[in-house]
Structure 1
Amino acid sequence: MAAKLYDTQAKEYRDIRPSYPPELFQFIASKTPIHDLAWDAGAGNGQATLSLAGIYKNVIATDTSQNQLHLAPDLPNVRYQQTTPLMTEAELHHNVATQSSVDVVTVAQALHWFDISAFFQQAKWVLKKPQGVIAAWCYTAPEVNESVDSVFNGYYLESKPYWDPARNILDDKYRSIDFPFMPVDGEVHTGPFKFKTEKLLALDDYFAYLRSSSGYQMPRKKGVELLRSDVIEDFERAWNEDGNAHKIATFPIYLRIGKVGNPN
């Protein structure tokens, strides 16, 4: 479901989704002693790839959606590769990297759509031992102000019965994921560690974000329109309450990070 959703909405996703803060990448980079090679899995249009390319010597960015990858920035040290959702070791070797050669594997706002257990095995295969790092993060709903968020909460609750079960992993801020990795150096657990990013939005941008999300698209595919005229009016009333046409939306980010450790 996710692949089809983000494949058909590639441009909208690129234009309206938030970027990630430098602090997030600085934290991840501080846990990887060598910065030679990064694998950005589920890279989409390269929102995380761009920052990784400024830190790591080479980046391989993969996604199942070629439409998304076509919108990614052209960077001299990045190789983009369309892949299937599940890869054999031979395909990993050919399309991603050789065994035990990757310094960090990152997954931005995508892990909940993966076959998580199978992907973790792929990450362990490509990561260097024992210091190779995996970092997966998600962000949750934008926080605007009390009035807008109150309307959003009702809208959000109405969408939940229509969710794909994977969407619940995101809603739980990745806490429920069985994360079979060791804490990175200097930490006593694998997270989630909290960060935040901000984006200046007009009301039309806010609606575009809502429509780009799986929480809206899933009900719509079942014939349920969540942004009905009455709901839109409630959002408009709340948005215009303070007289400011543009507002800063804060997106909380939750990071799980660990290292592969010694091979079993």
Structure 2
Amino acid sequence: VAEHYKQVIATDTSEPQLKHATPHPRIRYLHTPPSLSDDDLANLIAPGNNDSSLDLITVAQAVHWFDLPRFYSLANRLLRKPGGILAVWGYNDIAVTPAFDAAAKKFHDTTLPYWNSKIDLIFDGYKSLPFPFENVGLGSEGNPVALDIPKELSFEGYLKMVRSWSAVVTAKERGVDLLPEDTVRKLEAAWGGARLVRSVAYKGFMLAGKVKVCS
């Protein structure tokens, strides 16, 4: 985004996450805890006359966690009218090889009891996500556009990712290890080795829309 806009504001509710962010001259990183009021949040993001001040709001792999009515109300307030766009996207699978994909599905099935119910929106590819914005041809309510997102990934990178899944963390907190050594060995063998870098495709989906302006 920073390659296309002169000023980008990146927010997160987690200060530790922001500390890992890559510095960029066009990006301003802001800590936005849920305790902030809508007015405080608006003034933090766009000080002064903040209504109708943003060209684009993006949310990656996160909108399913939001208080949607509150978020959509704030997005409608802050986006430029006419023309301001909200784009949200996520992914719910990774295509590697047929052998690895089969092994990964067996592992994924063991995580199902430990996911928060909000993850159901991810599992269905945002098809049931409410999205009250005007269609711009890049996915609309009930009809997200499919995305294949290419990436170079090692097995070590894959393992780091799945260990961070909320379901894996929740299971561990309940005394259940979803990634015992035997499971890791089977996944690694199906991948082809811990350090092997593969070209994978994240199976993504996106919705994008403009603020609806009453005539």
> Would the alpha carbon gap of residues 78 and 245 (structure 1) be closer, same or farther in structure 2, given more than 3 Å must change?
closer
- Structure 1 distance, partners of 2:179, 2:139, is 43
Per-residue CA deviation, residues 81-104 of structure 1 (Å, 9 max, x unaligned), is 111226433213321120111111
SS of the residue aligned with 2:95?
Answer: coil
Structure with bigger helix share is 1
- Structure 1 distance, partners of 2:210, 2:38, is 20
Q: Does 1:150 align with 2:102?
A: yes
TM-score under structure 1 normalisation?
0.73
Match of 2:211 in 1: 260
Task: Kindly indicate whether the alpha-carbon contact (under 8 Å) linking 2:61 and 2:91 is maintained by their aligned counterparts in 1.
Answer: yes
Matches within 5 A, 1:155-194: 155-184=107-136, 186=137, 189-190=140-141, 191-194=143-146
Structure with bigger strand share is 2
Match of 1:67 in 2: 16
Q: Does 1:237 align with 2:189?
A: yes
> Would the alpha carbon gap of residues 263 and 80 (structure 1) be closer, same or farther in structure 2, given more than 3 Å must change?
farther
Segments of 4+ in structure 1 off by > 6 A? none
- Structure 2 distance, partners of 1:85, 1:114, is 10
Structure 1 position 247, deviation (Å): 1.8
Match of 1:49 in 2: none
Unaligned runs of 5+ in 1: 1-51
SS of the residue aligned with 1:135?
Answer: strand
Matches within 5 A, 1:20-35: none
- Structure 2 distance, partners of 1:188, 1:207, is 31
Matches within 5 A, 1:1-264: 52-85=1-34, 87-97=36-46, 98-184=50-136, 186=137, 189-190=140-141, 191-240=143-192, 245-263=196-214
Task: Kindly indicate whether the alpha-carbon contact (under 8 Å) linking 2:140 and 2:207 is maintained by their aligned counterparts in 1.
Answer: no
Name the aligned partner's letter for residue 92 of structure 1.
L
> Would the alpha carbon gap of residues 188 and 228 (structure 1) be closer, same or farther in structure 2, given more than 3 Å must change?
closer
- Structure 1 distance, partners of 2:166, 2:11, is 21
SS of the residue aligned with 1:53?
Answer: coil
Unaligned runs of 5+ in 2: none
Structure 1 position 168, deviation (Å): 1.5
> Would the alpha carbon gap of residues 246 and 116 (structure 1) be closer, same or farther in structure 2, given more than 3 Å must change?
same
> Would the alpha carbon gap of residues 167 and 249 (structure 1) be closer, same or farther in structure 2, given more than 3 Å must change?
same
